[in-house]
Structure 1
């Protein structure tokens, strides 16, 4: 008998994958967690019925949420990831030679433990000496730390349940206060095809708080529509002015100096969303 997993990305659209094996299912106080193995994308982490990451395409998301802000900053030493319990963003952060400390703040500790057990390719850096792992509410953590981080990444789930507050203007204001005077933050902001209102509102809020606001995109096959956006807020540095020769040589699969500025060249329908 064949087994298939379907994520309903909207009420009219879904993605279906043939399943080889189910490794783990669990209901925590925050969400339903499943770890399955698929024919096309390999091991897949699913939270509340939504694909979070897969072995086959995770490198795109984790590299793009991490290296774009880190390469834009002139000298990033301390970085924070809110969410991202799989550890992929942390893995990419510590590739940067200037990084002295990377903090992961994930609200659901079981995501971290399951990633360590079943996704070692992604979670491998969580035990690095530069990394501090905190199981706590990211909103509370940010409000308790002022003027502390060079770069902050909001590696959140979709804006439902415990992640709703991570898309609010109040949270973006708290992020601003948590950053140093030349700090940068990036948040994943969903699909330009399916989530126009979310992108428009997030960008408007970020633009009202940060001197520099930019939207960039990339292709992630297992995410809704396969086309994803990130919103950046920067106090000082503009990614479009980054000296590409200054970007360190990194072990990456998607991100490279040539793509750094190219991802900010938006298709007209995307630029129209944030006008």
Structure 2
């Protein structure tokens, strides 16, 4: 007998996504948010924070491929990587596939997210015990302000700019990120939707442009984020995401991907006209 339980994510005040749930695997409330892991009919296991879909087993590779491999194949020799957020573990999993990465520090504020994913979504959390991963349960905003380390690549794997993630979209945070980056460092951030949150994209890109010499936006497609078309921001002290992209490094890595490839890397920075117009003057590729 199938469950009659459905989960409905409401987005703004005019849109929702409804998915059939077979079983609730975990449900809790941390100091920061509600955390749920459910088994769904068509998308496998799913993580929700405050009722918003973060990860599903069926399409998580699209997000994690594009947030990790784009910066790691642009930077010529990334050895020290910092992830802010990313409690499901998928970004760390992809970063650690790069043999040249000597250390990956992951700073996640919510221990409950890590615990729930470790127990119920091994597909993304499978590298939490990797000796090259330094997993810290701490405030990423505080970490980048106080660290003395220098990172080659910084990945901001955050939720929407509400609740504990709100400071991750502000100017003070990105100045601290800039300060803890190597002289040729690259930072990539979860960049919202051009369809539904261009105001947030504009705000984030204003902040990045005030700190970094060049800023870009790139897109990927997925099943479960509102609108399907979603974005990341790319900012760098030195490197251009296309001009400094060496395709041979992808081939020579021997890695196989479910979403990412050289053609997708290049095409992701080719924005549709409505996004180019809306973000005019804010992106170097506009």
Q: Taking structure 2 as the reference length, what is the TM-score of the superposition?
A: 0.94
Residue 267 (structure 1) aligned to one of 269, 272, 276: 272
Q: Mind listing any 5+ residue stretches in structure 2 that lack a counterpart?
A: 281-286
Match of 2:154, SS state, is strand
Match of 1:225, SS state, is coil
Tell me how far apart the structure 1 counterparts of residues 14 and 247 of structure 2 sit (CA, whole Å).
Answer: 42
Please show how residues 250-261 of structure 1 align to structure 2 within 5 Å.
Answer: 250-261=255-266
Match of 1:224, SS state, is coil
Q: Which moved more, 1:147-156 or 1:129-138?
A: 147-156
Match of 1:133, SS state, is strand
Contact 1:146–1:177 (CA under 8 A) maintained in structure 2: no
Please show how residues 167-178 of structure 1 align to structure 2 within 5 Å.
Answer: 167-178=169-180
- Deviation of 1:132 after TM superposition, in Å, equals 0.6
Contact 2:216–2:234 (CA under 8 A) maintained in structure 1: yes
Task: Report what 1:245 is aligned to.
Answer: 248
Contact 2:73–2:246 (CA under 8 A) maintained in structure 1: no
Q: Which moved more, 1:229-238 or 1:205-214?
A: 205-214
Tell me how far apart the structure 2 counterparts of residues 100 and 147 of structure 1 sit (CA, whole Å).
Answer: 14
Count of residue pairs the alignment pairs up = 275
Please show how residues 177-256 of structure 1 align to structure 2 within 5 Å.
Answer: 177-241=179-243, 242-247=245-250, 248-256=253-261
Tell me how far apart the structure 2 counterparts of residues 156 and 265 of structure 1 sit (CA, whole Å).
Answer: 23
Tell me how far apart the structure 1 counterparts of residues 149 and 131 of structure 2 sit (CA, whole Å).
Answer: 23
Tell me how far apart the structure 2 counterparts of residues 146 and 235 of structure 1 sit (CA, whole Å).
Answer: 18
Please show how residues 126-145 of structure 1 align to structure 2 within 5 Å.
Answer: 126-145=128-147
Runs of 4 or more above 4 Å deviation: none
Task: Report what 1:157 is aligned to.
Answer: 159
Q: Which moved more, 1:238-247 or 1:226-235?
A: 238-247
- RMSD (Å), alpha carbons: 1.0
Tell me how far apart the structure 1 counterparts of residues 203 and 163 of structure 2 sit (CA, whole Å).
Answer: 19
Q: Mind listing any 5+ residue stretches in structure 1 that lack a counterpart?
A: none
Match of 1:24, SS state, is strand
- Deviation of 1:10 after TM superposition, in Å, equals 2.0
Q: Deviations over 1:172-193 (max 9, x none)?
A: 1111001000000011011111
- Deviation of 1:240 after TM superposition, in Å, equals 1.2
Match of 1:30, SS state, is coil
Match of 2:242, SS state, is helix
Tell me how far apart the structure 1 counterparts of residues 42 and 13 of structure 2 sit (CA, whole Å).
Answer: 23
Tell me how far apart the structure 1 counterparts of residues 33 and 162 of structure 2 sit (CA, whole Å).
Answer: 11
Task: Report what 1:60 is aligned to.
Answer: 62
Q: Taking structure 1 as the reference length, what is the TM-score of the superposition?
A: 0.98
